[in-house]
Structure 1
């Protein structure tokens, strides 16, 4: 009823609390609260892999630009990996196999031991890339001794790399990229069961090859598989095209109850799920892995990219791919939403409504509102940064329009570009308060330029208005997710 009244009496929007009575519905604190990072996590570290272990540590490895060794660091927090000391746990051979192009290490803990999967060439042929495995029984893999378990043998001996392992319904699988001599491309994706952590079992199955236009720019590539599971489905992301600004992520989807060794069980997304974004200055995002937040409630995308587009020479000789992190959100249909590679610095969050928990603050034609099912994720993500007006305030910067902020004008809230004026900075600054309707988990934003007025929704649009009734307090309370 109050929504209908609001439509009929828009002239009194300056004091909507007069129209709202009663106790609104409200949500509990979100199951997956906000998690933020300051990117990049690591400079000159490509193909990143992060494993969260039961000992309370995250273990991080990645390709180094010299392609000559395997490094490892650990920390109790994801952000802590950015400053954690790094240890070289293995160095390439002086001659022969495993003597060149040490690429894409991954670390896993399987049946009480540590395993590192990696790719390597030979000093006699640096492009004779094959997959290899190291093993350590130490509690701390940074200080333990590593044993070479040898090459992962495949029925066809050809260019192969990017091994990853995962378990679905109690069965351990290996997925990897390999050159299929019967195809006119660089690499396709394969999967097989594992007999032990360094041996595949049975005949591998090809589940994807590069055929779409965005998979074949520069090189025809499907590589770098990584798996995340959610809601009874298996999502396998992979990287496509050359390792420059065209590099991007595709995705295959299968039911967790399906026969994963049947190629027909996998459906390919027809468009990239994560790609270059010039507005945020992020180019060629790819070769990802997945981990989870410290509290275990959020899935986290781990990937590399560059912060510039133009590369001189072979991109493989450019050392400046950086490791980055950002939270994954899940669409209403249960599919992952990676959004866009966000700008360097603090990563963004979403704000869900306290009394309309399926609705998020978002912008549409630059007007701020709350809406459900925002699949264009970046429209509903904001970076909470130091307030443009200073004095202990915060400002909410748009993710897909860097330099644009939530800004109140005539008490309406819009997303607008900072014009550099003191008036704009004042109107785009807010005091972050404990939630007016939920002081424990919620958040409210009081206007700096109009004290006593809060960002609140009314008829699903956002305004800067007083919050002096129970309903108004609920309308002015949000959860960071």
Structure 2
């Protein structure tokens, strides 16, 4: 998927000494996690008919399910339909894994992996086809196994188009390379047939790719500004599971392994502070308004697993907004806590600067790293309904609060004083009603504003004051 351009940074004068930003091209979007319990390897497809289509691995590994809704959140309660069930004998009879749904040339296709009843680890990629407009009610035809030159353990096929050419990427074991799975890429002559010789574009060699198992799997592609970004998952499917990133120029020869550059470390990994473990096997979709990219992934809410992680059923589907750095690369941040997803708050008059905490002091700053320092969950105010509080994404239980009229991020100590200091009334932006301004609940007339890039709560009198106290959600 390709989202809109980065938030505009051009400013125009609106009064003496005051500038204003364009409303962000990618405004804030929030969801409530988890989207689906006991659904791993999630794939969401936003279709032109106004529906999101969602499929994922079920714990029994015995069928392919599909649900749809007009919103991403609506997938949580949408009716689930079984569109295909494993064979009673032979191929496609065991370990039904990682389905993906795609719409190609007017037809629906599901890519999935399966073993055989007489050899459950003979995992190979397969394809289903549906010609109906509604894939939940239409008939599905088996197009069979994707024939690969190397007949070995292979799974997690995904497809994407770059410059008019359709590609297939998948994970596969090559005994000549070693144990585990590598990523391979080939062009497709039709949705279930590769053409030419596949190229190996990634091999698990780094320490973060080889914990428990040597793994590169679950590729997913997002494109932006002439770049092709391919995420993949690495290491065993426990709390060590994480995501890496391959990057290539869209104008490069993608079938040349040297066109791809791998990150030196994971881009998305377990986070004890938010109680999210083993995030991975992701896909990408876009928000309902089409203006934000959305990361779809699974993880668990606990670290310790008894026995084989593949037998633990509690991987669940989650979503959160995907952000983009100023250099055009994706910023995955951290797997956020359960519940409402956070937003970022950009300055109205310094559009590249976001509210962030730095050594617990709140300020506005550009190019925030780590991203989560500038993410806050806007929740019902600690002082009660009618107010809001802003909880730190990477320090759950810590909130923006004023102290001596300076704004800090501090842990809720349970006192009435803290609840008042950390609660605000959200008002239409004082410099732009499309934005938001935050009035102190216990000091009415004082608003959060930046001054010398530090945040405080102050009474406002000038246009500059009002501009400093206006923010956009992103």
CA distance in 2: counterparts of 1:420 and 1:231, whole angstroms:
47
Q: Which residue does 2:286 correspond to in 1?
A: 292
Which of 429, 450, 456 matches 1:457?
Answer: 450
Give 1:385's match in structure 2, choosing from 365, 379, 384. Answer: 379
Cα distance in 2 for partners of 1:99, 1:429 equals: 56
Question: By how many angstroms is 1:262 displaced?
Answer: 0.1
TM-superposed deviation, 1:127: 0.1
Give the equivalent residue in structure 2 for 1:467: 460
The 8 Å contact of residues 185 and 210 in structure 1, kept in 2 or not, is answered as no
Match of residue 132, structure 2, among 138, 141, 156: 138
Q: Moved runs in structure 1, 4+ residues, more than 2 A? A: none
CA distance in 1, matches of 2:460, 2:27: 24
The TM-score with structure 1 as length reference comes to: 0.95
Question: Are 2:243 and 1:266 equivalent residues in the alignment?
Answer: no
The partner residue of 1:65 within 59, 62, 65 is 59
CA distance in 2, matches of 1:55, 1:388: 41
1:331–1:375 Cα contact (<8 Å) kept = no
Instruction: Give the match for residue 6 of structure 2.
Output: none
Aligned residue runs from structure 1 range 382-421, under 5 A = 382-421=376-415
User: Aligned-pair distance for 1:375?
Assistant: 2.9
User: Is 1:349–2:349 an aligned residue pair?
Assistant: no
Task: List aligned pairs for 1:167-246, cutoff 5 A.
Answer: 167-246=161-240
Q: CA deviation at 1:186?
A: 0.9
**Distance (whole Å) between structure 2 residues aligned to residue 352 and residue 392 of structure 1:** 23
Tell me what 1:16 maps to. none
Residues 257-280 of structure 1: CA deviation (Å, up to 9, x unaligned): 000000000000001000000000
- When normalised by structure 2's length, the TM-score is 0.97
For structure 1, the residue ranges without an aligned partner over 5 or more in a row are 1-20
The separation in 1 between residues aligned to 2:126 and 2:466, in whole angstroms, is 59
Counterpart check, 1:479 vs 2:472: yes
CA contact (8 A) 1:397 1:403 kept: yes
Q: CA RMSD in A?
A: 0.7
Report the alpha carbon displacement of residue 322 of structure 1 after superposing the two structures with TM.
0.4
Match of 1:340 in 2: 334
Find the aligned partners of 2:76 and 2:26 in 1 and give their Cα distance: 23
Residues matched between the structures, number? 460
Distance 1:128 1:466 in 2: 69
Post-superposition offset of 1:449: 1.0
Query: Quick check: 1:372 aligned with 2:363?
Result: no
- The one of 432, 440, 446 equivalent to 1:447 is 440
Matches within 5 A, 1:275-290: 275-290=269-284
Deviation at 1:184, TM superposition (A): 1.9
Note the C-alpha offset of 1:378.
0.1
SS of residue in 1 equivalent to 2:20: coil
After superposition, the C-alpha distances for 1:334-389 in whole angstroms (9 at most, x for unaligned) are 00001000000000000000000000000000000000011310000000001000
Secondary structure of the corresponding residue to residue 249 of structure 1: strand
CA-CA distance at 1:419 after TM superposition: 0.4
In the TM superposition, what whole-angstrom CA distance separates every residue of 1:76-104 from its partner, at most 9, and x where no partner exists? 01111111100000000001000000000
Q: Give the secondary structure class of the aligned counterpart of 2:368.
A: coil
Contact 1:214 1:240 in 2 (8 A): yes
CA deviation vs aligned residue, 1:277-321 (integer Å, no higher than 9, x gap): 000000000000000011111111000000000000000000000
In structure 2, stretches of 5+ residues that fail to align are 1-14
- Find out whether 1:308 has 2:330 as its counterpart: no
Residue in 2 aligned with 1:10? Answer: none
